[in-house]
Structure 1
Amino acid sequence: MKKILKYGLIGLAGIVALLVLAVAIISATFNPNDYKPLIIKLVQEKKQRTLTIEGDIKLAFWPKIGADLGKVSISEHKSEQTFASIQGAKVSLALLPLLKKELVVDTIYIDGAQANIIKYKDGTTNFDDLLSKDEEESEQIKFDVDGVKVTNSAVNYSDEGTGAKYALSKFNLTSGHIALAEPIDLATDFSATANQPAIAADIKLKGNFLADPEAKHFAAKDLDASIKGDLLGGKDVNITMSGDIDAKPETREFLIDSLKLALSGQFDGAKVTLDLNAPALVAQKDEVTSKKITVNLNQEKANDSFKASLVLSDIKGSPKALQSSG
């Protein structure tokens, strides 16, 4: 038994030594910056865009294989004008899946991303060429992303046809595992401005979200959202919402659990507060059921005040005709 343990430890030490030697050799002989001109040339040839990678690409080998890309920018199609840029980007790969020929991106870190998106009058956008697929994806390598972390980023969108402009700034996002048609843990906060309709607000959003366009299934679990600012035609508006929502529009199935919505703000010189509480609401095709829904509305303007309370218990019926016991 002692000999087996001894030889096992020796074998393990040998493997560790080989790994250390391999990392040392790779570090000494492989320089990713040697491939920068090739990458830039390929982007220019394939997409007619100028890719700029400032500084050196830095590699890390422990505890995860990773790369620090530094500042990166890409131009508009057939133009030197900047389309998008990143102040810093880091990518790390999980080690164990590599042994099974699986490329699993452990975490993506992006800081200071900036993007300008334009929809032209003819309906095309300034990123259509980036969506075209020139080559088929490899069938031998499994690609997966375990998480994304974005900090201090911004996106500007303008529609030349309608004149609408939207902007997100101070954008931060942290996600859990990302895969198609699977729920995603997500937390984000950002400032939003728009002119159609007029919006200037700070937004926070957290929860577990599912977006499956193919199955037409959308859901939000443990939703915790807040919006503060000028919107909906009001000033100093504060909206909070929590609960669970599950929607399948194609089959007309909607489930609401523990939904709470609160709104307050100044509208046309009046102070308005609204509270909605829906512990459970189920809509399946032509059938709607709910145990109890309460709505409270208060409005104060000068010396006038208005209060209304609505309680709907034991709701049943259809979207066109509902019945309630009180």
Structure 2
Amino acid sequence: MTAAEPQAQQPMDAFRGDRVYLGADHARNERRTWIVAAICLATLAAQITGGLLFHSVALVANGLHMAAHVAALLVAAVAYAAARTYATDPRFTFGAGKLGYLAGFANAAVLGVTALLIAIESVGRLLAPEEVAYDGALALAAGALAINLVCVWLLKPAQSHAHDRDGDLNLSAAHLHLAGDAVISALAIAGLAAGRYLGWTWTDPVAALVGAGLLAHFAWRLLSRTGAVLLDINPSPELTAQIRGRLEGEGERVLDLHLWRLGPGHHAAIIVIAAADPQAPQAYRARLAGLAGLSHVTVEVRDHTTA
């Protein structure tokens, strides 16, 4: 090798024999998503029918949101199935781990549209109030809240990954849909109770309007997180700093470093190193051993005199 010639690039996963970048809880999350989708589908009919029967905009809003849940959960479940099916498909250069982020982004967009529809309906009811059958609406709202809480619990991330910033955003999107619905159900109960016992007829649509604002906030947060992954924005300044620290520990310089996410808990890095006494790429890869979430690494080494 001449001094100006870079040493061969070597990906970390070339020795693994696969490029499967699925989350550690992929099977669990897929199974629970299908279960919750079935529960939500059964609940949807009751909420829409009850809202129309009792003339409650909050219940109608809850039903519309539940319809969005069913669609969102089906998208999430299909994304899990597709990611598992195509995990080893060579057509996916870096695996199929990002399918979940694509589904999460789509579901966040649906959540935002749902918030807009609820807000429009709420304003309409404020301008043109309708009589509400409070007793029946309250009973149905309470039942919807109970079901939502069960579904939220079912989709709760596994304890080992509950606070993992690199976790499964596909699950987070589905979980957020249901958590938002639980909030709307609670607000609906408060608004209906105020109307029933205090005579404040305006509280039912106002409760739905507040819920719409919260959903819009949740949707924006999720769009930002999933969009960052899909656009390959650096997912972890901390991991980037750790990589630099380990590779520059003996006088080398990191000339170029690209870090992006491949799937829940999996990252890829392309690194160009300049050194006065270049070592084999394997030596630099060995320095990175043990860094959590670093699954695919490509190293190029250059002589510092020509870098």
Report the TM-score, using the length of structure 2 for normalisation.
0.21
TM-score for both structures, normalised by structure 1:
0.20
Higher share of residues assigned strand = 1
Q: As a proportion of its length, which structure holds more helix?
A: 2
